């Protein structure tokens, strides 16, 4: 298993290098550059602009700049922002806890709602209650998250005055953004839990457990659920990663000072180093989360662990 | 209808004595009939199909339904920010434009962006996916590593980067969303093509001396269609959300076009005083996405032989 993990981490290196190349070159295609943002309205002459450009190393061709960037990158230096002159890593780490907190809160909301709902729906299969749950899940999946956020703000903060409409602070500030981010995920996870439970509920060993006199509650929660968990964890894990990446809209709607906002602001000021650095860091973190999810299977499912032990190749 | 069913039941009962005939009768059904029968059973799928048909109708005849220059983009300050009433069922926006007309016309933007973006992603993704699935070895490795790179960046983020680099325009928006949907198409096509390529009819095609291009595009790909069709339908739904998200951030269809996401970003400024600006464009997005999700789920159930009774 350790071998597998190391192999996966090694495979991530070329992917991350590729991502840096891709993002750096796409950013270079943008009209105008960071100099026009820095110079702003101060009517500089062409010579002064050229001088400024040279002082940032922007007079060199994009290939040379990328190679220089990579040289520093391989030493672990992600560069400094053109605008704020702060190291990229430091800026990222300042904003990342907020994004992480939001994502964790939303995944908690998701798990608390969707797993019981999915189990309930599977147990009541074909009834009106099941259909209501399915329709709700489908609606949740189809709602654009940023719009849901706006609607929640209208209802809970502008009309009922229960919760703040944005910003970071106490636990009250997290509720609305976490609900907004979690809704799409809740919908998908409810459906996954339901279908996974339905698969398991058909198995003979549940009948055996019941025949042994195991209480029904234990049959469902222990015997059935623990076997239904694998697809649930896959989806939850990949959605955790997805939310970390897609947090930018929620952060915009709720004025949440996270990494998504940082990237969009840096994009607007053409801060190539900042954007590339943040995307590399985010993609790396997502890669690690997906790896952790894969390793988690082995912990849950002894069959997969046995495959690892035999040196099974994936 | 009921009568017909009774007749059919009676006929089936008669034939019960001769099971071979019954099975022949079922065997004679074409595959598309079989799929349609399966699809029709699913109420959600039918709702989705009807909704998509209505939306396509609105998009095609938007010019006939509303007057673009007067109602959709025409500024009429005296009529601004009217709450929903009989003359303006959805109210008017900050420039006095009727929101119902704008939402109706917006169907054209959302559907065309969704369709074109997904077609771009599908054309590229399916081609490379089929090549990767058919030729194992170096070609597969290269294509899959490139896919990994493209897929490693979260798609919303990648879309934002591409649009802000190329400049905000409708075409660039389609392109950006198309590019971000490539990885999914590559992966799904490769997986299916891989199993199809191992089947005997592909081998016999090779034995008959067909060119590899012909085998890939006329023998392998047609047999991979079901998952691709399902993926396309579901992907249109997420492309419509992605398009409105980017427009909401100001990175999509330029003003004054009535794109739903862009309308929401105007609505956000008036969220405290005039929430109706926010309500209706969002509902339109939700219904459209719901329609494609229902259709996609229905197609998946109908096309997947494993689920068939």
Q: Which residue from A23, A30, A146 is facing B248, i.e. has the nearest CB?
A: A146
Contacts 24+ apart (CB under 8 A), A226-231: A226/A300, A227/A200, A227/A203, A228/A193, A228/A196, A228/A197, A228/A199, A228/A200, A229/A196, A229/A300, A230/A196, A230/A297, A230/A300, A230/A301, A231/A192, A231/A195, A231/A196
Mean pLDDT of A220-235: 82
Residues of B contacting chain A (CB within 8 angstroms): 44, 145-146, 148-150, 152-157, 160-162, 164-167, 237, 241, 244-245, 248-249, 261, 264, 267-268, 271-272, 275, 278-279, 281-282, 285-287, 289-290, 293-294, 297
The domain spans of chain B are 1-41, 45-307
Inform me whether the C-beta atom of residue A13 falls under 8 Å from chain B C-beta atoms.
no
Q: By CA distance, what is B156's nearest residue in A?
A: A246
Which residues does A98 contact at the CB level (< 8 Å), separation at least 6? A168, A256, A257, A258, A259
Which residues does B180 contact at the CB level (< 8 Å), separation at least 6? B121, B150, B155, B158, B159, B162, B242
Residue B159 and residue B246 in contact, taking contact as beta carbons nearer than 8 Å: yes
Cα-Cα end-to-end distance for chain A: 12
Q: Average per-residue pLDDT in chain A?
A: 83
Please list every residue in chain B whose beta carbon sits closer than 8 Å to the beta carbon of residue A199: none
Cβ within 8 Å, pair B268-A150: yes
The model's pLDDT over A260-281, given as tens digits with 9 standing for 90+, comes to 888 888 888 888 888 888 888 8
Q: What pLDDT shows up at residue B15? A: 52
Distance of CA B305 to the CA centre of its chain: 22
Please list every residue in chain A whose beta carbon sits closer than 8 Å to the beta carbon of residue B144: none
Give B130: exposed, middle or buried? Use CB within 10 Å, 0-12, 13-18, 19+.
buried
Distance of CA B64 to the CA centre of its chain: 25
**b or e along A181-209 (b: 16 or more beta carbons within 10 Å of the residue's beta carbon)?**
bbbbbbbbbbbbbbebbeebbeeeebeeb
Q: What pLDDT shows up at residue B24? A: 53
Mean pLDDT of A182-191: 88
Cβ within 8 Å, pair B241-A144: yes
Q: By CA distance, what is B282's nearest residue in A?
A: A147
Q: By CA distance, what is A159's nearest residue in B?
A: B272
Report d(CA B197, CA A143) in Å as an integer: 39
Q: What Rg do the C-alpha atoms of chain A give, in angstroms?
A: 24
- The full set of domains in chain A, from first to last, is 88-313 (1.10.3720.10)
SS3 assignment, position A95: helix
Distance of CA B75 to the CA centre of its chain: 33
Mean pLDDT of A12-17: 88
User: Quick one: which of B3, B253, B12, B277 has its CA closest to B110?
Assistant: B253
Q: Which residue from B146, B161, B167 is facing A26, i.e. has the nearest CB?
A: B161
Residue B185 and residue B154 in contact, taking contact as beta carbons nearer than 8 Å: no
ipTM: 0.83
Give B162: exposed, middle or buried? Use CB within 10 Å, 0-12, 13-18, 19+.
buried
Q: What pLDDT shows up at residue A296? A: 81
What residues form DSSP beta bridges with A87?
A: A80
The strand ranges marked E within A14-154 are none
Q: Which residue from B146, B162, B268 is facing A26, i.e. has the nearest CB?
A: B162
Range with top average pLDDT, A9-18, A206-215, B48-57, B208-217: B48-57
Tens-binned pLDDT, residue by residue, of chain B (309 aa): 445 555 565 555 555 544 444 555 555 677 788 788 878 888 888 999 999 999 999 888 888 877 777 777 777 777 777 777 777 778 777 777 888 888 888 899 999 999 999 999 999 999 999 999 888 788 888 999 899 899 888 888 889 889 988 888 889 999 999 999 999 999 999 988 888 888 888 888 888 888 888 888 888 888 888 889 888 998 999 999 999 999 888 888 887 888 898 888 888 888 888 888 888 899 999 999 999 999 988 888 888 765 543
The model's pLDDT over A116-169, given as tens digits with 9 standing for 90+, comes to 999 989 888 888 888 888 888 888 889 998 899 899 988 888 888 888 777 777
Q: Which residue from A14, A26, A147 is facing B285, i.e. has the nearest CB?
A: A147
DSSP class per residue in B17-48: T-HHHHHHHHHTS-HHHHHHHHHHH-HHHHHH
CA dihedral B234, B240, B242, B244 (to 10 degrees): -160
pLDDT of A21 higher than 80: yes
Q: Which residue from B149, B157, B282 is facing A147, i.e. has the nearest CB?
A: B282
Please list every residue in chain B whose beta carbon sits closer than 8 Å to the beta carbon of residue A253: 268
Element (H, E) at B103: helix B99-134
Q: What Rg do the C-alpha atoms of chain B give, in angstroms?
A: 24
Residue A123 and residue A220 in contact, taking contact as beta carbons nearer than 8 Å: yes
Report d(CA B54, CA B67) in Å as an integer: 19
Report d(CA B175, CA B157) in Å as an integer: 14
**Inter-CA distances, A127 with A122, A137, B42, Å:** 10, 15, 16
SS3 assignment, position A121: helix
SS3 assignment, position B199: coil
Q: How many CB atoms lie within 10 A of CB A240?
A: 21
Interface test with chain A among B42, B152, B273, by most A beta carbons within 10 Å: B152
The correct answer on CATH 1.10.3720.10 for the domain covering B45-307 is yes
SS3 assignment, position A56: coil
What residues form DSSP beta bridges with B98?
A: B92
What residues form DSSP beta bridges with B139?
A: none
Interface of A with B in 244-263 (CB under 8 A): 244-246, 248-249, 252-253, 260, 263
What residues form DSSP beta bridges with B22?
A: none
Q: What pLDDT shows up at residue B267? A: 84
Q: What pLDDT shows up at residue B309? A: 37
The model's pLDDT over A54-70, given as tens digits with 9 standing for 90+, comes to 777 777 778 888 888 88
Residue with tokens 């799928």: B45
Helix axes B225-248, B182-197, angle to 10 degrees: 170
Q: How many helices (H) and strands (E) does chain A have?
A: 15, 0
Encoded tokens for B12? 């089936």
Please list every residue in chain B whose beta carbon sits closer than 8 Å to the beta carbon of residue A147: 264, 278, 281-282, 285-286
Compute the nearest-CA separation of A216 from chain B (Å): 29
Please list every residue in chain B whose beta carbon sits closer than 8 Å to the beta carbon of residue A15: 145, 148-149, 152
Inform me whether the C-beta atom of residue A268 falls under 8 Å from chain B C-beta atoms.
yes
């Amino acid at each position: 298993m350790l071998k597998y993990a190391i192999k996966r981490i090694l495979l991530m290196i070329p992917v991350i290098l590729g991502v840096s190349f891709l993002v750096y070159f796409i950013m270079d295609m943008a009209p105008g550059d960071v100099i026009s943002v820095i110079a702003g309205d101060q009517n500089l002459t062409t010579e002064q602009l050229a001088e400024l450009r040279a002082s940032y190393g922007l007079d060199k061709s994009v290939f040379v700049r990328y190679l220089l960037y990579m040289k520093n990158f391989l030493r672990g230096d992600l560069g400094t922002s053109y605008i704020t002159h702060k190291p990229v890593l430091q800026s990222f780490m300042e904003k990342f806890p907020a994004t992480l907190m939001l994502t964790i809160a939303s995944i908690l909301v998701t798990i608390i709602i969707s797993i019981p709902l999915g189990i309930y729906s599977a147990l009541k299969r074909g009834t009106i209650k099941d259909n209501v749950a399915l329709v709700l899940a489908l609606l949740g999946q189809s709602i654009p998250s940023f719009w849901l956020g706006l609607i929640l703000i209208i209802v809970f903060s502008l009309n009922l005055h229960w919760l703040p409409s944005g910003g970071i602070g106490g636990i009250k500030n997290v509720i609305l953004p976490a609900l907004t981010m979690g809704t799409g995920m809740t919908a998908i996870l409810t459906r996954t839990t339901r279908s996974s439970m339905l698969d398991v509920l058909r198995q003979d060993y549940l009948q055996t457990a019941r025949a042994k006199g195991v209480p029904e509650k234990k049959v469902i929660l222990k015997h059935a659920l623990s076997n239904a968990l694998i697809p649930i964890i896959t989806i939850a894990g990949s959605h955790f990663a997805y939310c970390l990446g897609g947090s930018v809209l929620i952060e915009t709607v709720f004025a949440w000072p996270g990494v998504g906002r940082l990237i969009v602001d840096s994009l607007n000021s053409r801060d190539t180093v900042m954007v590339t650095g943040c995307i590399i860091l985010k993609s790396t973190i997502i890669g690690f989360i997906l790896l952790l999810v894969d390793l988690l299977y082995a912990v849950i499912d002894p069959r997969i662990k046995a495959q690892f032990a035999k040196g099974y190749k994936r | 209808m009921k009568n017909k069913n009774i007749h059919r039941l009676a006929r089936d009962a008669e034939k019960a004595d001769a099971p071979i005939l019954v099975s022949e009768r079922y065997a004679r059904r074409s595959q598309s009939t079989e799929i349609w029968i399966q699809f029709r059973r699913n109420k959600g799928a039918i709702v989705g199909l009807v909704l998509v048909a209505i939306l396509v109708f609105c998009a095609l005849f938007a010019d006939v339904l509303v007057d673009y220059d007067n109602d959709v983009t025409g500024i009429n300050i005296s009529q601004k920010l009217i709450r929903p009433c009989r003359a303006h069922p959805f109210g008017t926006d900050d420039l006095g434009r009727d929101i119902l007309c704008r939402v109706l016309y917006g169907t054209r933007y959302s559907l065309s962006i969704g369709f074109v973006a997904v077609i771009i992603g599908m054309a590229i993704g399916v081609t490379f996916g089929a090549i990767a699935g058919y030729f194992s070895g170096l070609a597969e490795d290269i294509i899959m590593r490139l896919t990994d790179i493209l897929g490693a960046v979260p798609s919303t983020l990648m879309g934002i980067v591409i649009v802000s680099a190329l400049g905000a325009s409708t075409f660039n928006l389609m392109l950006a969303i198309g590019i971000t949907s490539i990885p999914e198409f590559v992966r799904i096509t490769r997986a299916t093509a891989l199993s199809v390529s191992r089947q005997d009819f592909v081998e016999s095609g090779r034995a008959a001396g067909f060119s590899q291009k012909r085998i890939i595009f006329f023998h392998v790909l047609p047999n991979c269609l079901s998952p691709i069709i399902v993926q396309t339908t579901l992907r249109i739904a997420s492309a419509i959300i992605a398009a409105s998200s980017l427009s909401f951030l100001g990175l999509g269809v330029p003003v004054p076009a009535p794109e739903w996401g862009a309308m929401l970003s105007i609505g956000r400024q008036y969220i405290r005083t005039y929430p109706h600006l926010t309500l209706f464009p969002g509902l339109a997005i939700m219904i459209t996405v719901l329609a494609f999700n229902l259709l996609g789920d229905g197609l998946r159930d109908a096309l997947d032989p494993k689920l068939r009774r």
